[in-house]
Structure 1
Amino acid sequence: MPTAKAKPTDLKEACVQAAHEVIAEHGVEGLSMRDVARKLGISHQAPYRHFESRDHLLAEIMRRCFADFALHLDQRPPSTEPHANLEGMGEAYLSYAELKPLEYRLMFGTPWPEPAQHPDLVKHALHAFDILRDSLRRMHGDGPGRRAQADLDALFIWSTLHGMASIKQANVMQHLELEPDVMDRFKADLMAKIGIALAGGEATNSASEKAKR
């Protein structure tokens, strides 16, 4: 049943909300400007007053998802201890994926519209990785090869967290026949193993630098 017609001043926000609902109901592939207009009970040309195309509308939705994600990460409890700071970011990352699974899938499971046309989307998307990378660069320092190692560690952590967040949303999880307490221990176990991997990498780097002296 169509919703009440939006006022002109509210039309942009109404289009974004309606598009979000269409995606929730039919997936990204089901999003069209005509369906957004139909849901709002307005002319099929009306959404074009604010969005040049379906991709521009999708880009705005994704930009808002990334901005919300960045805000969620920024609001995590601060810590001056590097490892605790990384753990806090990991917890915040995973909690966002659990709280907002649709937004998470839109950010990381949807092909982007042409990014050159949507610089704000790129800016907000990079924010999460830069938080992680900057923390690691402070840990590694600026010695030879340290910035590259920080990038490698950031990619390792991000891909590990993304793997957990994505697999928990997969339908196959309900068919794995896991032991009763495994899912309750999953996150803590993964975070602990990330810590072990990073500690092992730090020890290897330290030994390598000493051997060069």
Structure 2
Amino acid sequence: MIEPDATDAPIDLKEACVRAAHDFIAENGVERLSLREVARRLGVSHQAPYKHYPSRDHLLAEVIRRCFRQFADYLDDRGQHADPREDLGALGRRYLAFAAGHPLEYRLMFGTPWPEPAEQRGLVEDARHALDVLRTVLRRIHGTDRAQRTRVDLDAMFIWSQMHGLASIAQANVMEHLGLAPQASRQMVSHAMHMLELAMNAAGTDSNSPD
């Protein structure tokens, strides 16, 4: 479900178009989205959505932007943890919970090519915010000086790739046919988080910088 944008009136046409587009994608797929279909769903003139969205791609960019905003807010709402490594673990679990609870939004963010107006709609800023939630925690671990910037970004990409891989596999149909032990299926997330913690701890003892 798309969260309302705080800058928009809750029931105006601009907001209604975003919600209608989200619902249409959920039912029919992103490929069939068009402003004409959105107008038909809303019961308005087929020209009406063009007052706010010059093209179908502008509307799609706004839908994806809202997904990233919702995702970042969800990560931000994980609670406060004085220990940054505990905070990192909470962030990872929060990531996986969002992917499991919002599969459509997750696919739109990471499985849909960005339309051309993405930067114009502010999508880049909201996507970067989601990554900055993770980088902020890593700066608490590594420090904030410029010398640690590469280390923070490398760790962020490593952690994100691990979480994304696990989230994507968990949603894949093939999971039903792999013959995994029931215990393995139940412990998949906790085991992955434990292995990630071991990897981070091991990296923390290595003073050599990556090549």
Change (3 A) 1:123 1:12: same
1:30 partnered with 2:18: no
1:197 to 192, 196, 199: 199
Aligned to 1:74: 76
Aligned to 1:45: 47
In structure 2, distance between residues paired with 1:121 and 1:143: 28
Aligned to 2:21: 19
Deviations 1:126-177 (A, max 9, x none): 1121111122122112568532111111100000001111111111111111
Amino acid at match of 2:151: Q
Aligned to 2:6: none
In structure 1, distance between residues paired with 2:181 and 2:163: 22
In structure 2, stretches of 5+ residues that fail to align are 1-10
Aligned to 1:6: none
Amino acid at match of 2:176: Q
Amino acid at match of 2:75: L
In structure 1, stretches of 5+ residues that fail to align are 1-8
Contact 2:72 2:133 in 1 (8 A): no
1:180 partnered with 2:177: no
What RMSD in Å do the two structures reach over aligned CA positions? 1.6
Higher relative contact order (CA 8 A, sep 6+): 2
1:157 partnered with 2:159: yes
1:116 partnered with 2:119: yes
In structure 2, distance between residues paired with 1:147 and 1:134: 11
In structure 2, distance between residues paired with 1:60 and 1:139: 34
In structure 1, distance between residues paired with 2:120 and 2:145: 37
In structure 2, distance between residues paired with 1:16 and 1:82: 37
Shift of 1:41: 2.2
User: What is the TM-score with the length of structure 2 in the denominator?
Assistant: 0.88
**Which aligned runs of 4 or more in structure 1 are off by greater than 4 angstroms?**
142-145
Amino acid at match of 1:105: R
Change (3 A) 1:143 1:46: closer
Identity %: 54
In structure 2, distance between residues paired with 1:181 and 1:127: 36
Deviations 1:32-74 (A, max 9, x none): 1111112222221111111111011111111111111111111
User: Would you say how many aligned residue pairs link Structure 1 and Structure 2?
Assistant: 198
Aligned to 1:5: none
Deviations 1:57-98 (A, max 9, x none): 111111111111111111111111010010011111111111
Going by fraction, where is helix more abundant, 1 or 2? Answer: 1
In structure 2, distance between residues paired with 1:138 and 1:87: 14
Q: Which has the larger radius of gyration?
A: 1
